Amino acid sequence: MSTGQSVFEYMDLSSLERAPRVRQLSELGFTWADLEEEEYWLDAIAVLRRETFLELEEASAKLWSILDKAVRYVHRRHDLYDLMGIPQVLWEMLDECPLPPQGYISRYARFDFAIATNGTIKLLELNADTPTGYVEASIATPWICGQAGVLSVNEGMTEQVAAAWAHERPDTAACVAYGTHQEDSGTIEALVRHSGLDIQCVDCLELSIDEGVVKDGNGRIIERMFALYPKEWMAVDDGGEALAYAVESGRLQLFNTPHSILLQSKGLIAAVWGMFELGLLFNEEERKAIESYILPTYNKPVFSGNFVSKSVFGREGGSVRLFDDSGALELADEDGFDSSILFPTVYQKRAEMARIETREGPFHLLTGMFVINGKPCGLLGRAGGLITGNTSHFIALGVR
């Protein structure tokens, strides 16, 4: 274990035999610790200083409230929908469906933060629609930390899922390529298991829709569905418009709720920053939180250098480009799908991420904080390059 000056302490567990540990994690439901002979899971723990964790938890709660307030301001303003890149096929659905209660626009979400070596916390984005990493955070992280005698703060995630789904009561959970896509299939299976409800898991590609009625591959009518299916894809997928109509007409209740796409869009962060600069909407306490934790973010490339560009609906690093102090392109993601060809781009000031030294080499550490049923309740660690994309590794996060 080495400390240095970082708020993260790196604990290397690679001296332990990996194969039996991978088997044990698989039995618990984390079946993709190794992917095609690649080690997705780093057998290690990044232990976060307690004071920094408490600040992160508080920051998450404040930002959750701020972004919720911003969605209610944006709701039914089509000029802002357009700026945020919300596809027009969804506008009527968003306008007609009632907004959920305060704090519950999404009941299953994850913030992604850059935490610098010195503990400075900056929000990169909010995954409020279809976040993954749940199995890694709720199942693998507590087990790994428990084996090493390190505190995990993720123990309450399963209770929050049960509370959220007790309210939403989906009859179906869906993902694309259910049964063959390990991560997405494992994610919805774990959520179903932790909900304690009788819920059918299905493949999105086997759904049919007729006059707003949604059925699975066996002809069973679906009325309440949780789907790991990004809502923006309704604008480009065959059947997307029919799915939107099913929700608009009330024949299908979709979770996360339709309005989670407003939280999901990185354009909302640009809107929040713009209102902060103009002195609109937010009170003094909210303004302090925005200034402390949100990076300057714009819909236009106003920076002369040291900024990031990314699609409002970029996922897994796709579409991210880093520009250096002189404004020259330094690095572009080559692995994820570049959704900037379909959706608008935002421009954000760059933030520092702490580095960890591992046996595989140096990595930058991205810190996720799940917000489930309105409560910040679980850490997710990912180790990768300057852009955290599909090739990043999972690392358990504990608290000192």
> Pick from 341, 336, 377: which is nearest to 61 by CA?
377
Cβ proximity of 366 and 386 under 8 Å: no
> Pick from 100, 97, 101, 106: which is nearest to 247 by CA?
97
Residue 236 in tokens: 């480009």
Residue 17 in tokens: 């035999």
Neighbours of 328 (CB within 10 A): 8
pLDDT given for residue 340 in this prediction? 79
DSSP string, 112-170: EEEE-TT--EEEEEEE-SS---HHIIIIIHHHHHHHHT-B-S-TTHHHHHHHHHHHH--
pLDDT given for residue 82 in this prediction? 97
d(CA 84, CA 345): 9
What are the per-10-residue average pLDDT scores of the chain (400 residues)?
A: 75 95 97 90 97 98 98 98 96 95 98 98 97 97 98 98 98 97 97 98 97 97 97 94 95 97 98 98 98 97 92 81 91 79 93 93 96 98 87 95
Residue 121 in tokens: 């916390």
> Pick from 346, 342, 354, 278: which is nearest to 308 by CA?
346
Residue 163 CB contacts under 8 Å (≥ 6 apart), including other chains = 373
Q: Where are the domains of the chain?
A: 8-264+355-399
Q: Which stretches within 196-283 are classed as H helix?
A: 240-248, 260-264, 266-278
Query: Which pTM value belongs to this model?
Result: 0.95
Q: Can you tell me whether residue 327 is helix, strand or coil?
A: coil
pLDDT given for residue 38 in this prediction? 87
